[in-house]
Structure 1
Amino acid sequence: MAERIRAHDWTATALGAADAWPPSLRATISLILGCGFPMIALWGRDLIQVYNDDFRDLMGSKHPAGLGQPARACWPEIWHITAPIYERVWNGETFTFEDALYPLFRSGRLEDAWFTLTYSPLRDEAERIAGILVTLVESTARVLSDRALRESEARFRAELERQVQERTAELQASRDLLKATMDSSMDMIQVLKAVRDPAGEIVDFRWLLNNSTSASRYGDVGGQSLLERNPGVIQEGIFDTFKRVTETGQPATAERRYAHEQFDGWFFQCAVKLGDGVAITTKEISAWKAAQNEMLRLRDESANAALRESEERFRTLASLIPVLLWRSDESGQHNSLNEAWLTYTGQSLQQSQAGGWLEAIHPADRDAVSEAFRSGREQQRLIEVQQRIRRYDGQYRWFLVRQAPLLDTEGQVTQWIGAAMDIHDLHDLQERQTILVAELQHRTRNLLGVVRSIAHQTMAQTGPTERFREQFNDRLAALSRVQGLLSRSEQEPITLRTLIRTELDALGGGDFANRIHIAGPPVRLRKASVQTLALAVHELATNARKYGALTTEHGRLSVTWRADRDDQGGGNLLIEWIEEGISRPREEQSPTRRGYGRELIEQAMPYALNAKTHYELGETRLRCAIELPLGERFGQMSTA
């Protein structure tokens, strides 16, 4: 087909002369010609057909006229089926159909044919949809054969339905646990799902979950638009924060004054990514802010007489406000506390003097708290820390602590005013949310195991080749390992060394430790780059184990990387994969060297990661070099 495509008169089609084709179209044609499955690209609104050798065999008598022909003219008998699908793919959707029935006129008569196929959008250099990619496998023989096996399939289907019901019940239990946890909190907890335009840009959010505390303020808002219900979130920057959390996965906390719609007060808000959206915990802190503002107002009363007059007012205010308050002298030693502190800690006024208050701080927090207060006093600035304070019964709870200086007319510190607000429930909720998200990810991996089991049984019935089974399982296992790394990325950042070592160990790399050399500086990987890079390493490692340096006693594998930084914090990372002592050329042994693995390295990585790659295979040596840009798109150097 490659020769026929080059010889075809494309000027007679809507695509025009081949030498003027855009790079995206050229890359698409290169992809489908190198693939071992039937594939066809439908380019432009006329859906001009370009297909590979395997697809040509499915066309029957429609070839060779079908090359360069609009899809509607080539397949009029199924246009009523495909036209609605094409229209939705043009809007950015992807469809996969299994054993779909298509009545085709390809052998001189109309015949029923079944296919398992995927319709997905093709994008040009500007990320606009420029065509449709159709990948398919004809399953007519299997479908007809399956009709004779319906009795046994019924037993299989019953078992599958049982497994699905069990997994569904487990997921529902997780959802019920999450809902119960949310409803038990006195804070407002909400889960919002992102609403995206056809280009993928977040343009709104919609409510998915709302705990009882939030419902008491909002009412029933399930499925409603955030911007229609609370337009003030744009003015206050809250909408942009939610977008940033959804797109980056980085949590955000903020203290805000919100005076829009039915609200008018101060709120402490935490937002974390959950699926394609955010989970938000909001605590009203209006009373605490009022106390803080009053304390800051007292700071301006610098004269000694004014301070003495305010002493009684401070005591009265401190006894009324349900937060822990204190006043310290200029050296930071306590000289007065409100009743709430004494009641909560069980300390006496005398015990809390001269640094005695540190005894109520959790031992693991004392050094950091002492340093924060020391540094704040030296710089005469606002001090803010989160710490655990021991209650009178020995239990520790988390508090948000702030201490501000009071200055006289000459700018000298005369006193310090401090306040501590209980945020323990918010900490607990965040930890529970992390556990629940991890649990959901764990269950998702379990479902992948069920999918793999189903694939094994299906292949046993339909008879795919053993090579297909092996490669399918290997790549599915590689994806599962990537998901395992991503699920722990919040607590354990993914490094380049970890990714490479994980893939080699999975293939028995420990058995060849004395023949494998891995070296390079610490490099943390961004989540968006992990999957593509992991699949590339998996393909290299698989071929080294099956056909390359790790198949001979004298073979050696070296994986090294180095980084060249620039003044702007960016630069390039060069990864070199070198195999020495190959017994004979890989091209004679490994079809994958010309197939998926090599295409992934030489075509997919430059497109997905802006990489530069070089692949050189000799008689006894392989060198693969991958150069990647450091920065926001790929990763960053780290000394951790």
Structure 2
Amino acid sequence: MLQPAIDDADPFQFLGHQGEVADLIRKHDWSKTPLGGVESWSSSLKTATALLLQSPVPIVMLWGEQGVMIYNDAYSVFAGHRHPELFGSNVREGWSEISDFNDNVMKVGLAGGTLSYRDQELTLHRHGYPEQVWMDLAYSPVPDESGKPAGVIAIVVETTERVLAERRNREEAQRLQNLFEQAPTFMALISADQQRFEIINPEYRRLIGDREIVGLPFAEALPEVAEQGFDKLLDQVFASGEPIRRTSERVMFRWSKDGPLEERFVDFVYQPIRENGQVTHIFVQGSDVTERVRAENHQKLLINELNHRVKNTLASIQSIVTQTLRSVQSREEASSAITARILALSRAHNVLTNENWDGADLHGMVESALEAFQQEGRQAITISGPVLRVGPHAALSIALALHELATNAVKYGSLSGSEGTVDIAWNIDDHNRFKLKWTEQGGPQVIRGDRQGFGSRLILRVLPRELQGTAEIDFPPTGVVFELETSLAAISDRPLMEQI
């Protein structure tokens, strides 16, 4: 007796797979689609459907001129909220927002051609709203029994997370590059891979004679410098994890291939950078101090002053980085906070540089420190006080403290809204006592927190210690009030801030 055909017993026997999409295929009313009932499907259509169901990679098949969509479980995840309504629909209507793109896919695929895209950017409505996505796409025709293309099969690999991560990395690298570009001292970043230069700034390029060295190992980029033992210093920092500092170090540079060696003197630091306990990079920072070193007795005082300033500036930057990293939760937060604080220090440096580091007008220093926090269209910050010149040490200390107060006000205080204000005022009393007061009004009520971060330590512990005075902060309902009091002598010219 003849056995019944397998398809007569179960028309879906060809699927050979269990899963959500396989169940959809069994339940779907295919008679309402251009494909017709499953009993009428061609062998090629059944075989292609069975194959794509087995794949762990998102695959969708577009069958016939209309491009009826049959896909696997992995593609259903990619489809988001449009699944399962998308199943069995025509691709032009199913993905109406990219109908032109799919028109070309069908045209090329049914003509026997193939298409391939890497990180193709599209805007899809997978969750009820426009969403920018990136995908690797590969399209190829599916032949029928006669060898003629009857459909198109698409392999879809979403790359959105990788593309966005690469974009963030590029932006982060660009921010770091911008910071390097704006720095008044020479800077370089050297990796542990053959002491390879990753970034240099214009000041470093000027120091070495405008050579293109990014991507080159140290010994190849600066062979005459390596011969003087500086590559051994780098080895020592990578091995020990301890920074190395040099002051007025004699270095011979060859600014042209066959030119003579030129003598320069530099102050620099090799600062190790760790990841997971391992030293992966060395941050090089310093200044070309040749003219200072060569000067006669008249310049020796300037040399000592500049040495002290450079070393303490480096200490301040290192301290800002170290303390910030201790008080943040993510790399992005650390990058943003470090950049903002170093730029605040840089703005204060610019004011002092314009005054040849002979002190600064306090009003101008405060304006520069708070310029970035002013709100367009209104005077959110007012500054008042008698004309007063302060020394570089006090100017930098006060500028950094005001930056922290303003940052906190933008996040939580009066500058977080459109109505709040900040008033900064100072005076000198009859006893030559200097008093500065920061007053916030019109913002949300601020509650004193239990946790003391970098900013709190700076304004309540470091600032009064550096200026030999007292500092207090209060949280009345009207807004934060901060007061600094010290002597007029204490805000005269002093060394830069010590380690925080």
TM-score w.r.t. the length of structure 2 is 0.36
Larger Rg: 2
Q: Which has the higher contact order (CA 8 A, sep 6+)?
A: 2
TM-score w.r.t. the length of structure 1 is 0.29
